[in-house]
Amino acid sequence: MSAWGLAIGGAALAAGPPIIHWLFRRRLRRVEFAALRFLLRAQRRTLDRLRREEWLVIALRMLALALVGLLLADPVSDAGAGHPGAGALTVAVLDDSLSMGHRPPGGTTVLDRAVTALADHLNRADPDHRVAVLSASRCGRSDPLPQPAPAGELKRSGFAERLAVRPASDLVADPAAALTAAAALANAHRGSVTVWWLTDLRHGDLDGTRAARLKSAAATLPADARLVVQDLGQTVEQDLAVESVLPPSHRVVAGSPAVFRARIRNAGQRSSAATTVSIQIGDAAVPPVAVPALGSGEAAEITCTATCPEPGDTAITVALPADELPGDDRGSCVVTVHRELVALVLAKDPRIGAARSLAIAIDPLGDGGFAQRVRQRTVAGWDGAGLDDVDVVLIDNPGAIAPAARTALTAWIKAGGGLGLILGPTAELAAWSQASGSDPPLAPVELLAVEQTRSPAVDDPTGVRLRPDSIQPGSFLSLFSADARFADLVRFRQPAAVRPMPGARVLGRFDDAAGSPAAVAWNLGRGQVVAICTGLDLASTAWSKDPTFLPVINDLVWQLCRGDPPRVERAGAALSEPLTGRLADAVSATLTTPRFPAEDLIALAVDGPALPGGRVLRHAADHAGVYVIHGLLADGSHLIRRQARVVDPAELDLARATPGALHAALGRPYELIDGGSAASGGVALRWWLLAGLLVVLVAETLLAQRFGHHEANGAAPPRLAV
């Protein structure tokens, strides 16, 4: 029997008390007594009062039976998609984005409440009522129920139980795409349609272009379709989020320390207390790093210095203590750790002069034992070859350059290479400080025509020094600003007269009257070019004999050596790994997702069609975290590649949307249900009915005893009838 059949049966039972009263009423035989005729008037008044008391008790009994019938019907309020009748269609747009994982203290997640509302809708639905459930974050890719199905079939198959274990995704909500898909289902259905959007209604869902897309999608719904927006969201009080994990700005080399950074934001409405984050680099955990107290909306950048012991792809994961929104408590990135840093030194004769001093400073023993290796070549006739496996190029006294070499060098710098120009006495920059075709100038300075004279003695105390107060913080010359005594000991006899190019940065100046630039830099694409405005040979300076030379030159090399592009994208961007290099020999490949081992290993096809850039491994990447590709090569060895996905920053905007913003975004009639779900409304109504039944039963008992309708021994009360 249906719930409403039980309700009708309960209403029929409510008619029982008056019927029983009428059937079993007392039938009295009237006997006239002349002596009692004076009492008739008073007796009539008493009988009228007794009848009123009886009918009041009967009415309470009827009300109690009616409440029992309603409780058996298990009613709910009108929240949600309304009464699911036969032949109708309900298309539920379930917001399962990251913010729906919000769990207030002591409560359930917003997504759990939305799923409970859907389950209650199915339980009340007519077996022939049709239901579809679309995902607001993965619409078209991972919808819980993309095509309508009868509610009776869904109840038998346990659909609600399967939906209850579906977690919130790490993706941003796209309600416009889901409403467009819902409109397609609604337009294909003949009958009444309800589109039911269950969401936490965040400000980011209705912001900017997303609001325009949502309005266009809502316009495609049938004009007679009922659109219900159920706002289940609550204010997020405490939520610290890992907004980003940033790789080092310079090349990461195995065995050498590198600085990793992470940005932490307070996305909650209340200030956060000071805490710590745990950081894992590869398989090793580093000591926790402190995070200061943050006000609402404030952010802080933390740093950690660590060493990666092995070359290859290394994952860096930053984790915060759990809070109300656990989905944004972790962040990751993947960096490429190189075996060594390779510097190419070009000079007229790399065996002598400044070129030799540079080589000794970078690789003192000449065996790459400090994870730094130097290659030396003569600059004459160099055509730009050999740049693919070089990190830094240092050119002593640059001069004429072949067009092919310039083109190759420009492309290499734009891709992240670093170029250092040592402007000694014989340097010529005409070919370096001018554009060539589509290639921009390479040198950040241009030489001025000024007559230069040499000092006759190497140890001549004359010459200019670096001015410590002019050195830019963080530059490779910072050692001289840290202790002015270092600058006093180093003299430069023949600095180059230069003019910085527009947009170039002066990293330090000499202490001559004009404040001549000592080092000038600028960016070119992802790479950088630094010009040292003096020669480094012994005729120009004795700096190479000073202890400061080695650390400063090494700082120059490391700053020129830009880091690799961060291997991280937003969650939802498909995984794409080219089968190049050693991975081109892979005979099979498997993928572990960030939710492994909860998710099984995934086999990837390595024999797919070749794209213009070669074969590519592809797979969806809807979770935030680190994905690991294990490639089995033809020789039986394994090769590992890693990629990272992070939460879209738009999903960290947890501010609540206003009804006005929703009205403007939809642009059509809708019903807004604020607060709890349909299920919670039903529970509240059942409690009210039960409370009302208890009150009615207590009132009936008290009034019946007060009016004498109950006796302790069960005997009927005395009646006087005339």
Where in the chain are the domains? 1-35+50-78+691-722, 89-233+656-676, 236-339, 343-560, 569-653
Q: Measuring CA to CA, which residue among 590, 602, 619, 645 is closest to residue 141?
A: 619
Average pLDDT over residues 528-541: 92
| Least confident residue range of 19-28, 127-136, 290-299, 350-359 | 19-28
State percent of the chain over pLDDT 90: 41
Measured between alpha carbons, how far is 702 from 694 in angstroms, rounded to an integer?
A: 12
pLDDT(713) > 50: no
pLDDT(14) > 70: no
**Residue 270 binned pLDDT confidence (cut-offs 50, 70, 90):** very high
What is the tens place of the pLDDT at every residue in 146-156?
999 999 999 99
**Helix/strand/coil (H, E, C) string of 295-361?**
CCCCEEEEEEEEECCCCEEEEEEEECCCCCCHHHCEEEEEEEEECCEEEEEEECCCCCHHHHHHHHH
Q: Is there a common fold for 89-233+656-676 and 343-560? A: yes
**Residue 489 binned pLDDT confidence (cut-offs 50, 70, 90):** confident
Distance from first CA to last CA of the chain, Å, rounded? 50
Is pLDDT larger for residue 10 or for residue 464?
A: 464
**Residue 41 binned pLDDT confidence (cut-offs 50, 70, 90):** low
3-state helix, strand, coil in the chain (%, to 5): 30, 30, 40
| CATH ID of 343-560, from 3.90.550.10, 3.30.450.40, 3.10.310.30, 3.40.50.880 | 3.40.50.880
| Least confident residue range of 81-85, 603-607, 663-667 | 81-85
pLDDT(482) > 70: yes
pLDDT(610) > 80: no
**Cα dist from 470 to 478, 516, 517, 519, whole Å:** 10, 11, 10, 11
Q: Topology of 569-653 in CATH?
A: Immunoglobulin-like (2.60.40)
**Residue 194 binned pLDDT confidence (cut-offs 50, 70, 90):** very high
Residue type, 586: A
**Cα dist from 516 to 397, 510, 519, 534, whole Å:** 19, 5, 9, 11
pLDDT(708) > 80: no
Residue 5: per-residue pLDDT: 58
SS3 of residue 561 by DSSP: coil
Average pLDDT over residues 401-409: 89
Measured between alpha carbons, how far is 339 from 93 in angstroms, rounded to an integer?
A: 50
**Cα dist from 227 to 92, 94, 115, 216, 561, whole Å:** 10, 14, 18, 14, 57
pLDDT(85) > 90: no
**Residue 644 binned pLDDT confidence (cut-offs 50, 70, 90):** very high
**Residue 477 binned pLDDT confidence (cut-offs 50, 70, 90):** very high
Residue 722: per-residue pLDDT: 40
Is pLDDT larger for residue 498 or for residue 22?
A: 498
pLDDT(453) > 50: no
Q: What is the mean pLDDT of the chain?
A: 84
pLDDT(203) > 70: yes
Average pLDDT over residues 488-496: 88
Average pLDDT over residues 409-429: 91
Residues sharing a CB contact under 8 Å with residue 603, sequence separation 6 or more, in sequence order: 588, 589, 590, 591
Residue 605: per-residue pLDDT: 81
**Residue 637 binned pLDDT confidence (cut-offs 50, 70, 90):** confident
pLDDT(1) > 50: no
State percent of the chain over pLDDT 70: 85
**Cα dist from 576 to 247, 615, 616, 618, 633, whole Å:** 20, 10, 6, 5, 19
| CATH ID of 236-339, from 2.60.40.10, 2.40.160.10, 3.30.365.10, 3.30.230.10 | 2.60.40.10
| Least confident residue range of 303-312, 519-528, 712-721 | 712-721
- Which superfamily does CATH assign the domain made up of 89-233+656-676 to? von Willebrand factor, type A domain (3.40.50.410)
Backbone angles phi, psi at 276, to 5 degrees: -130, 155
Residue 321: per-residue pLDDT: 95
Is pLDDT larger for residue 220 or for residue 30?
A: 220
Residue 698: per-residue pLDDT: 86
**Residue 452 binned pLDDT confidence (cut-offs 50, 70, 90):** very low
Residue 174: per-residue pLDDT: 92
Residue 330: per-residue pLDDT: 93
**Residue 40 binned pLDDT confidence (cut-offs 50, 70, 90):** low
pLDDT(76) > 80: no
What count of Cα atoms within 13 Å lies in the side-chain half-sphere of residue 421?
30
Burial class of residue 573 (count of CB atoms within 10 Å of its CB; 0-12, 13-18, 19+): middle
**Which DSSP helix (H) or strand (E) runs through 113?**
helix 110-124
Residue 217: per-residue pLDDT: 94
pLDDT(522) > 60: yes
pLDDT(196) > 80: yes
